Structure formats: structure tokens, C-alpha cells
Structure 1
Amino acid sequence: MTTLYLFGSAAPPVFEVAEVIENAQARGWDVCLGLTPTAARWLGEQLPELEWLTGHPVRSEYKLPGEPDVWPPADAILLAPATFNTVNEWSLGLTSKFVVGVVAEAIGKEIPTVAVPCVNSAYARHPQFHRSVDALRSMGVTVLYGEGGFEPNQPGERRPEGYPWHLALDAAGAIASPAP
């Protein structure tokens, strides 16, 4: 089975991750879930259910040196939702968070990676955000941002059509097709 690392940061769409896991599994993916520490705190009560659903531990922290990896190797990585902070940390190589460290290393390992930001229009106006998106794209990351991907909403609002999870899973399938 083809392994998808599904990573999420602390933005409201992360609360939909169980449904996304089920959709990815229906598409043939073996899903391993990684979360930023804040996203893990937001989903705290759901973590046992999410571990049962994926069949793997949910990770939000680095393992200790010498500990075996509890996940199979990734065939593809999907980082969604990717917050303003996560996108900027990743682009700049600031890897204090587990999920950011893994996606930063994935560039060098040439693991196909998709990112779908989730930022409001105020964050999107910050010049570093666009530099970070451009930098990630130049590193080979598929970033679904702008037309045909995530388009920013006003602060405090959600897009009526919802977060583009279907586009995220389609993009992951396009870069590394799951086993049937």
C-alpha cells in the first residue's frame, strides 16, 4: 500500500481530518497523521480515534535519538491546512516542529509533497508569506494557493465552499498514485 503522510497545523479545517483520512483511505492510501503541537492540542480528545482510524500513532513531536520510526516511509506528503506560521517556518528551514522538520527534509529526499495553505487575507498581505510560497514552489513543492487552490478569506470568516480538501487529495494522488 502507498503511504501518505497527512500533516496538519492549527487552522479550523484540521477539525475535519477524520473525514479526510477516510477519503484518502478510500483512494488507496495508508495514512499516517502528523500534527503541529497546537493542532494536536486542539484534537486532543480525538487522538485515540484518529490512531485507530489510521492504524498508526499520531505524531506531533520528534522521536528520541535511537528510537525506531513507528511509521512506514512516505510515498507522498500532504500538509494541509498549512498556517501562515507553518508555511514561513518551512520555507525558512526553521524545524523546531516535527511536521515542519519532516517536510523540510522531504525536499532533500525528493518525497513528493503538496501544501495547501489556510490563511486569511490579512496574513496573505504580509510580504513574507508570498516569498515563502514562491520559495517552496521553487524547491519542488506543489503549493495549492491562489486560483485553483486555497484562496484567502477575510479574518474571522470561513469560505462558504469550505476548505479544498478534494483538491488537496487530488494533488497528492497526481504526484504519487496510491496503490489500488
Structure 2
Amino acid sequence: MTDEPDRRKVLYVIVCAAGPAGDVGKLVTLAHQRGWDVQIIATPSALDFIDTEALEAQTGRPVRSEYRKPGEPRSPKADAIIVAPATYNTINKWANGISDTYALGILAEAPGLGIPVVVLPFVNTALANRAAFQRSMNTLCDEGARVLLGPGKFEPHPPRSGTDHLSEFPWHLALRQADRAVRQSSP
């Protein structure tokens, strides 16, 4: 975090292509209420799930999904990152060091830059029980990511029932954890 006294905290929200993505504006609203500036970063597939124009109006920033071109302005430095909804694909790629999208590039660097990362998955039980996914979760936890998976957090739903659970997605838990992480990392 920076020492600039008047600077608001910056939260990157990395949104993936899963059912709750269309409601990411709820997280933006909660973050604004807690004094965060928000930068939305979408995986390429997530662009079909979100209302880019509405999110840009809500955040006052362009939704980013690609690396910037030379001469384009940089996004502000993140104080924390929330990955929500985090998909099976993104979690496994990230844990295995694959950085083939802008979102994964941000996540690949975050531990080395000391930026706290909160992961709020949206997966079904068939995917959550896979050994590859469990290894990925352990890898991310070992690198300091705060994973919100299990009782009292996000609990995987039965296959083919994701749309029945969209309204239960715990955006507020991710933000609470990001607030806590920033407080703990402050001098």
C-alpha cells in the first residue's frame, strides 16, 4: 500500500466466466461503500457475462481484458485483488503458472509484489472434488492467497444447478477478507 494520505485504496476485481459474473456490480457497490476505488479486469470469456458499459460507468474506469498498448495509461496500483467468481479453469491455470491472459498475468505477479489476493470460487462439486483442483487450491493457499471455499464460505453446488445458487454468491465475504488483508499488511 502507498503512503499517500489522500489516496483511496484500489481493488482489482478479476471476474471470470461463471454465472455470478453478471452481478459483479454488487461487489463494486459494496467496495465503493467501504472506500475502495475499483478496477475491473475480465478474462476474455467473462466479457460475454458482464455489462461492460454499466461497469465502466459504475467504476469510472475502463474494464480491462487485454494488456495495454504502448502509450496507453496504466491502471492504478492494486492494494488488493479479488478473483470472483473464480472458475475451475482460471484457478488451475493460475496455480500452474500459466499466464496466457491479462487477468492471469496480474495474478501471476501478485504474490511476488506482495498484493493480497482473495479467491471466491464458483464451481460445482464434480469439479471441486477433482484432485487437480484440490492441488491448485493448496498451491494458491501456500502462496498466500486467501481462498474462500468450504463451510461458511462458498460451498460448491451439485452439477447443473449453478443458476439455482447465483443469489447466494457471497460477494460480501470476499470484500471483508480483502479489507482484513489490507489492514494486516499495513505498517
Verify same fold: TM over 0.5: yes
CA contact (8 A) 1:57 1:70 kept: no
The 2-side partners of 1:5 and 1:27 are apart by 14
Stretches of 4+ moved more than 4 A in 1? none
Any stretches of 5+ residues in structure 1 without a counterpart?
Answer: none
Deviation at 1:117, TM superposition (A): 0.9
**Aligned match of 1:176:** 182
1:7 to 14, 32, 37: 14
Length, aligned pairs only: 174
Match of 1:81 in 2: 85
| 1:72 correspondence with 2:79 | no
1:166 corresponds to: 172
Matched, 1:111 2:115: yes
Structure 2, unmatched stretches of 5+, are: 1-7
Counterpart position of 1:20: 27
Tell me the SS of whatever aligns to 1:104. Answer: helix
Task: Provide the TM-score with structure 2 as the length reference.
Answer: 0.88
Is residue 127 from structure 1 mapped to residue 134 from structure 2 by the alignment?
no
Normalising by structure 1, we get a TM-score of 0.92
CA-CA distance at 1:41 after TM superposition: 2.1
When the two chains are superposed, the root-mean-square deviation of aligned CA atoms in Å is 1.4
Query: Helix, strand or coil: the match of 1:159?
Result: helix
- For the 8 Å contact 1:56–1:70, the answer to whether it is kept is no
